[in-house]
Chains A and B, each alone.
Chain A
Amino acid sequence: MAKYLKKEKLKEIKRLGNEPLLLLTIVFIILFTSCFVIWPVVRLIALARPSEFLVLFTNSRWARSLANSLFMMVISTVSCTVTAFIFAYTITRLDVPLKRFFRFITLLPIVSPPFVVALSYILLFGVQGIITKGLFGLHVDVYGVFGLWVVQTVTFFPYAFSIIIGVMGKISTNLEYAAYNMGASRWQVFKDVFWPLCRPGVAGGVLMAAINVLTDFGNPIMIGGDLALLPTEAYMQIVGWYDMKTAAILASALMVPSFIIFILNRFWVGRRSYVTVTGKEISLTPFKPHFLVKWGLFTFCSIMSAFVLLVYGSLFIGAFTRAWGYDWSFTMANMGYVWEKFREVWNSIKYAALSSILASLLAMVLAYIVQKKSVGINKFLDFLAVLPSAVPGMFLGLGFVIAFNTPPLKLTGTGLIMVLALMFWNLPTCYSASIAGIQQIGESVEDAALNLGADSFQSFKDVILPLLRIPFLSGFVLSFLRSVTCLSVIIFIYSPRTTVGTASILGLVSNGLWGAAAAFTVVLISIAFSVLLLTNRFLRKHGGSLNL
């Protein structure tokens, strides 16, 4: 059987000879992706000899960062998942006010640069914090494990949330009623029916939160303080000591858990999450839970949301305040500063737009080939398209620095390297949007076009392309938002000429220029949010929606 399948694949590959355009496209995609994903990764890992990786365990500082990184990953993932689960449950199952507002709160961190919460947390609870110093007159050290834990929870619970609610929203309440009908109590229904059905979503959420926390660079660099973590230590090695090799070793240590999570997500969770019942059935309104449970969860969501609002509010106020903590008078000086540095904002937009267009195009062609053509290596192409999501952003950036600083591909310092890095970092995001779009196209719609006399190219142009407009757009926008707010990928590859908003903010924060940093952040968030709102309005008109 296996031998037979292999023969079938070979036959498919041989048949490609009849379709030179398709063959050429596939060869191009493989070469292109290998060059900008696999090659940088291989170069980075190969930088140090295998025996040199032992320093991760022998050098006490690196061993500690490894342990710290894993520790942070565990505690932040737990808190993110619990928060996400409560939000998802409240929004899908409870009859409480403010649900739309809660939903909005879960969007905010996704359209923001990764260090927003950390920055704001310093403004609120730091040495000059309104709450610590202003309200209570305390002088506390917020830097370190606890601060980072809070900040990462707020930053990353929305990522887990979006996965959990995707699964939870599809669970038919009829199943719960069926259990009640058989005499189960509320707790038994939760334990025996609801929770098992949620499990794939929760597992997906856990992995999503874990990978984000583990590879997070923005928050630890701002608020981690003395806490040594792998991403920040790698950064320090390069910025402080120009020690590429040690940085590579530290970054590679990140790659291992990251890759494990990727594999788990793909082959374990990915397969399970489609078991949910589909089909049209009328769901009854959810069964009312105990009122203590209901209002308890509501209170939790309200407090969390208030905190998120506080975070963004203080950022906004900070942007228009002369000197945070000392002089609260209104000023436009910070905005003026951003205006002076407008080129960096423009760079952000330019690189994000360019890389996202390219990523969406590549993703669409890839998705089309993987889903609709039998080319013998469909599974491999599929793997190639999602592979970048296994590579932490900072690792990819570092890989680019090492792989492309010498001829024939000397790209360091150019705008092109920024675009390429962001493009491949975003490929999986765009790819899954395109795949979802193509899967929605009826099985035989393309056959119908062929049957009426359209050749492969005409049917792609007249049928597939127009039907993919909306998935294309949503892939593009998601990728754009990620790029504008991205720090980890570009932190090693920007040059003075190609610097972008997020990099500047990091610089401003390390110089203690909170006001300007806040103003810069507000501008970036505004751009991201405007794009999000415009797209959502456009999509709603055309019967689509953005799937964050």
Chain B
Amino acid sequence: MYDSSKPFIEFKNVTKTFDSFKALDNITLTIPQGCFMTLLGPSGCGKTTLMRQLAGFSEPDSGDIYIKGIRVNGLPPYKRNTPLVFQEYALFPHMTVKENITYGLKLKNTDKESVGRRFDEMLKMFNLAGMEQRFPKQLSGGQQQRVAFARALIMGQEVLLLDEPLSNLDAKLRVEVRTELRQIQRKLGITTIYVTHDQDEALSMSDLIAVMRAGKIEQVGTPWQIYFKPENRFVADFVGTVNFMDVVISGLFEDRLLINWQGSAISMNRMDYVLNPGEEASLIVRPEYISLRPAANNESADQENSLRGEILFYSFLGRFIRYWIKVKNQTFIVDDSNPSLSGAIEGEVIIALDRNKLHLLRNSKS
């Protein structure tokens, strides 16, 4: 999809403080050409600030920003060619759809013919035919949003910035638009930076995700890396739901690891963890990789990675049932993605952890 050898946008040691609040703390990040990069994090983590530094709405206190190898620090926003789709769209209320979309081209004194041609392309791409003469307030939220996309994309730039553009849409439309948006991005091969706090959006759309917290980047990786191999507890917890188990490494073998959790042995694939026996670590288990079945009266959990527990509570969500299960002195969240028609399981259960999907974090790293 993208060429990781060609850096397109680079942030080098970018720091920005507001009053005494450190919004960006020595950020270094490279975005390859054609890549869909998502900045993911809770509100206040600096993701929007980072994007605004790139668009030139504010200047970093220190550090450099490069676009295509050219340093853009100090360049005013109108000279950066970084079209941005704003969270609240920021359509010009006094201009029609056509005037809104073509405003940027008009400023560049583009000739009429190519303005018309490119405008027609946008109408088609975003399904806006027939709305040319409407004003923003005469459009629905979804339509306004498509106008905002068209206004940014018509500029024909090699980069597109998106600041939580889907957050004002209702849930169903949001899922539709994100698929559409990703298809358009792939077709055009446009380098895209996408700011969001929504992990579903990040996982479903991105080539790369940078998870941010408190002005710092916690991890950069593909959605798979972020989800299955989070580098610290924050990333693991922020993306998806997770069970943390405090474990001690008890044995290292060629193909597997043996760990001890509150007296129970758990085994997992060896992979390339660098660990020492006796070391404390966190085991990360996603709720969907724990299976469960009702326990027979006196059955003990003696198969591999099995534990006996008791269901405390459940919540039926349609495609799965989420259980809260007490095992020893910890409560596990377990998702059963194949709920029975007759209702939820109750009482004593045996849960089993999938040894292929377990992930270990060295405690020093959290």
Contact = CB atoms under 8 A, between A and B. Distances in A.
A467 B107 contact: no
A182 interface: no
Contact of B92 (A443, A450, A453, A463): A463
A448 B90 contact: yes
A49 to B, nearest CB: 46
B86 A448 contact: yes
B90 A442 contact: yes
A445 interface: yes
B107 A448 contact: no
A539 to B, nearest CB: 15
A449 B20 contact: no
A455 interface: yes
A5 interface: yes
B19 A450 contact: no
A451 interface: yes
A278 to B, nearest CB: 16
A463 B90 CA distance: 11
A439 interface: no
A404 to B, nearest CB: 41
Contacts of B93: 442, 445, 467
A380 interface: no
Interface in A460-518: 462-463, 466-467
A4 interface: yes
B19 A451 contact: no
B204 to A, nearest CB: 26
A442 B151 CA distance: 17
A54 B21 CA distance: 53
Given A442-B88, A449-B103, A4 B19 contact: yes
Given A444-B90, A447-B90, A467-B94, A453 B104 contact: yes
B94 A448 contact: no
B74 to A, nearest CB: 10
A8 interface: yes
B86 A444 contact: yes
Interface in B77-97: 77-79, 81-84, 86-88, 90-94
A5 B19 CA distance: 7
B78 A444 contact: no
B76 interface: yes
B78 A443 contact: no
Interface string B91-130: 1111000000001100110000000000000000000000
Nearest to B18: A8
A1 interface: yes
Interface in A265-314: none
B155 interface: yes
A11 B107 CA distance: 31
Contact of A455 (B20, B76, B86, B94): B76
A450 B78 contact: yes
Contacts of A462: 92, 103
Contacts of B257: none
B236 interface: no
B57 A447 contact: yes
A269 to B, nearest CB: 28
A458 B57 contact: no
A447 B91 CA distance: 11
A447 B51 CA distance: 13
Contacts of A449: 92, 103
Contacts of A453: 78-79, 81, 104, 107-108, 155
Place the interface of chain B in its size category. 20 to 34
B107 A452 contact: yes
A454 interface: yes
Contacts of A1: 19-20
Nearest to B80: A451
A455 B78 contact: yes
Contacts of B155: 452-453
Nearest to A469: B94
Contact of A450 (B76, B87, B94): B76
Contacts of A463: 92
B307 interface: no
A298 B90 CA distance: 46
Nearest to B163: A444
A467 B108 CA distance: 22
Q: Of A447, A451, A462, which is in contact with the most chain B CB atoms at under 10 Å from its CB?
A: A451
A449 B90 CA distance: 9
Nearest to B84: A451
A314 B81 CA distance: 68
B55 interface: yes
Q: Of B19, B56, B86, which is in contact with the most chain A CB atoms at under 10 Å from its CB?
A: B86
Contacts of B94: 466-467
Given A442-B90, A447-B57, A458 B77 contact: no
A450 B107 contact: no
A238 B88 CA distance: 59
A451 B77 contact: yes
Contacts of B151: 448, 452
A543 to B, nearest CB: 9
Contacts of A444: 86-88, 90
A298 B274 CA distance: 84
Contact of B78 (A442, A445, A454): A454
Contacts of A458: 78, 107
Contact of A451 (B55, B88, B91, B108): B55
Contacts of B77: 447, 450-451
A376 to B, nearest CB: 14
B114 to A, nearest CB: 16
A535 B115 CA distance: 38
Interface in B5-37: 19-20
Given A8-B19, A455-B76, A445 B90 contact: yes
A480 B238 CA distance: 59
Contacts of A445: 90-93
Nearest to A1: B20
A443 B48 CA distance: 14
A4 B20 contact: yes
A410 to B, nearest CB: 45
Nearest to B59: A15
Given A445-B92, A449-B103, 8 more contacts: A442-B88, A442-B90, A444-B86, A444-B88, A453-B81, A454-B103, A454-B107, A467-B94
Interface of A: 1, 4-5, 8, 442-445, 447-455, 458, 462-463, 466-467
Interface of B: 19-20, 55-57, 76-79, 81-84, 86-88, 90-94, 103-104, 107-108, 151, 155
15 contacts: A5-B19, A8-B19, A442-B88, A443-B90, A444-B88, A447-B55, A447-B57, A450-B56, A451-B77, A452-B78, A452-B103, A453-B78, A453-B81, A453-B104, A462-B103
Q: Which 10 A-B pairs have the closest CB atoms?
A: A452-B104, A448-B90, A444-B90, A450-B77, A453-B107, A444-B86, A466-B94, A445-B90, A453-B78, A451-B84
